[in-house]
Structure 1
Amino acid sequence: MSDLKDRMMELETRQAFQDDTIQALNDVLVEQQRMLERLHLQMAALIKRQEEIGGQFEAVESEAPPPHY
Structure 2
Amino acid sequence: MKQSHLLRILLIAVFLSIAPSARPQGCTQCQDNTAATPPKTQAAYRHAIIFMTATASGLFLGTLVLLKRHR
Give the alignment's TM-score, normalised by structure 2: 0.47
Task: Identify which of structures 1 and 2 has the higher relative contact order when contacts are C-alpha pairs closer than 8 Å and 6+ apart.
Answer: 2
TM-score (norm 1): 0.49
The structure with the greater share of residues assigned to helix is 1
